[in-house]
């Protein structure tokens, strides 16, 4: 590598930590000399390697890259060179990658100097109870859907994957989002009350430390949208009167009325729920993390509601990677229409694995110690409206490897950020 690299200045307190960087112009020549897909693959591989070394998931590491650096943050200072490299490479790739590069440069590469010390804030909490005199009458309808499960038939040398299909039924109600034509509807599926084990069991492949300890949670009955919110549904609600913040009518990178809406921040999703609640006079909100996992599992205890593995015949994810003894499949590199695979879980919910990550209402906690056991949201004791507050994401996306799409897999990102694999679905309490 003589003539390509040079060492940077070594700080007195880091004599064992030496950084190297390319000479001016070398990285540009290397990036320009390799195909776009190869450059992205290299960045992804290095990200995964560093994340594992730090004990983080890839999503957590990517989120950490975007957090502004302050002088006492030793971890951020060490990963800052990679953020710089990633920004330079992505800027040259253009398109959506240029937007990611801009975020990296505007955040992690701009250090926060003289970070102020934390101070204790004393406050009083006032609780206001509002009684509603009206009751909602809803018309529950039966619907029939197909459930798919994966059976693994293992022999001495091979494993055969068989997809079994059967019909089941559940109840739902439909919410009209356009008052004049009634062409855009939101279908809300009834999720029965029950008790389940939340988190990953010991021995499940590719688990993360934040998925433990597994614990019993009891969840009351609620309704959840059959699909992730679509772009048509988003546009209908975004046209309703504003509650707290403005919403873009067409925020998604991938365009299509029946595609899931993406490039949605947590705050955007909360505003959507507020407008929908005002429009319908029902209480719509994001699901709690416990509600989400309970609804996703639908009575199963396996890594996926399909069974021990997953296949690109049933879900949209990066199937070039294999989970357990499954098989390699297709990497579509974009979202698919909601319900595209025409299979649901046992509750009648579609696209719970892959397609887009889904926001939950909960604040991020790095594990389940002291977590609620009644299905309620796990929120911090103080209100945090900061753009950088961490919120929970579930389900994985078209972009992610299969282990990121497991029922127990948890991720987090900043509430004020949106990306082309962040979407959501909504829930509604029993009336």
Ordered structural domains, the chain, with CATH: 5-106 (no CATH), 141-429 (3.90.1580.10)
The token pair at 10 is: 């070594």
Q: SS3 of 412, please? A: strand
Which residues are CB-neighbours of 205 under 8 A, at least 6 positions away? 303, 323, 324, 403
Residue numbers of the chain with a pLDDT score lower than 50: 112-115, 123, 127-134
pLDDT in tens, 38-76: 677 777 778 777 877 777 766 667 776 766 555 555 666
The token pair at 377 is: 């949201």
Instruction: Give, in order, the Cα–Cα distances in Å from 73 to each of 52, 80, 288.
Output: 19, 11, 31
Q: SS3 of 89, please? A: helix
Q: SS3 of 374, please? A: coil
pLDDT the model gives residue 133:
46
Produce one character per residue of 369-382: b if its CB has 16 or more CB atoms within 10 Å, e if not: eebbeebbbbeeee
pLDDT the model gives residue 59:
64
Instruction: Give, in order, the Cα–Cα distances in Å from 232 to each of 330, 343, 376.
Output: 27, 21, 30
Question: Does pTM top 0.75 for this prediction?
Answer: no
pLDDT the model gives residue 2:
56
Provide the 8-state DSSP code for 68: P
Query: Quick one: how far is CA 298 from the chain centroid?
Result: 19
Q: What torsion, rounded to 10 degrees, do the Cα atoms 380, 382, 384, 389 define?
A: -30
pLDDT the model gives residue 154:
81
pLDDT in tens, 342-363: 999 999 999 999 999 999 999 9
Long-range contacts of 310-315 (CB under 8 A, 24+ apart): 310/150, 310/353, 310/354, 310/402, 310/405, 311/150, 311/161, 311/163, 313/163, 313/341, 314/148, 314/150, 314/163, 314/341, 314/343, 314/353, 315/341, 315/351, 315/353, 315/354, 315/355, 315/405
Which residues are CB-neighbours of 379 under 8 A, at least 6 positions away? 361, 362, 363
pLDDT the model gives residue 142:
98
């Amino acid at each position: 590598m003589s003539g390509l690299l040079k060492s940077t200045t070594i700080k007195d307190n880091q004599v064992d930590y030496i950084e190297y960087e390319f000479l001016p112009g070398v990285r540009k020549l290397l990036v320009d000399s390799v195909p776009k897909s190869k450059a992205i693959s290299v960045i992804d591989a290095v990200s995964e390697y560093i994340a594992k070394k730090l004990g983080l998931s890839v999503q957590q590491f990517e989120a950490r890259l975007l957090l502004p650096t302050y002088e006492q943050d030793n971890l951020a200072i060490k990963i800052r060179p990679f953020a710089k490299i990633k920004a330079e490479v992505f800027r040259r790739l253009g398109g959506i990658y240029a937007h990611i590069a801009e975020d990296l440069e505007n955040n992690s590469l701009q250090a926060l100097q003289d970070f102020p010390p934390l101070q204790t804030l004393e406050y009083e909490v006032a609780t206001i109870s509002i009684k509603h005199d009206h009751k909602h009458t809803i018309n529950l309808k039966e619907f029939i859907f197909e459930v798919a499960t994966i059976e693994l038939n293992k022999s001495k040398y091979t494993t055969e994957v068989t997809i079994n299909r059967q019909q089941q039924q559940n109840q739902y109600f439909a919410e009209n989002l356009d008052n004049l034509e009634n062409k855009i509807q939101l279908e809300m599926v009834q999720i029965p009350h029950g008790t389940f084990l939340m988190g990953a069991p010991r021995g499940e492949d590719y688990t993360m430390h934040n998925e433990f300890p597994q614990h019993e949670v009891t969840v009351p009955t609620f309704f959840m949208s059959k699909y992730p919110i679509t772009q048509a549904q988003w546009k209908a609600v975004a046209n309703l009167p504003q509650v707290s913040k403005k919403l873009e009518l067409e925020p998604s990178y991938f365009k299509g009325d029946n595609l899931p809406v993406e490039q949605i921040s947590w705050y955007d999703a909360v505003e959507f729920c507020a407008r929908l609640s005002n429009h319908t006079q029902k209480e719509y909100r994001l699901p709690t993390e416990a509600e989400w996992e309970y609804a996703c599992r639908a009575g199963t205890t396996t890594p996926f509601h399909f069974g021990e593995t997953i296949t690109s015949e049933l879900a949209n994810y990066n199937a070039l990677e294999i989970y357990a003894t499954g098989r390699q499949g297709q990497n579509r590199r974009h979202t698919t229409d909601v319900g595209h695979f025409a299979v649901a879980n046992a509750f009648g919910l579609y696209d719970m694995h892959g397609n887009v990550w889904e926001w939950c209402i909960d604040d991020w906690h790095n594990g389940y110690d002291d977590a609620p056991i009644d299905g309620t949201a796990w929120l911090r004791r103080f209100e945090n409206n900061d753009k950088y507050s961490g919120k929970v994401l579930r389900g994985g996306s078209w972009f992610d490897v299969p282990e990121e799409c497991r029922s127990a897999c948890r991720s987090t990102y900043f509430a004020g950020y949106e990306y082309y694999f962040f979407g959501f679905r909504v829930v509604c309490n029993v009336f």
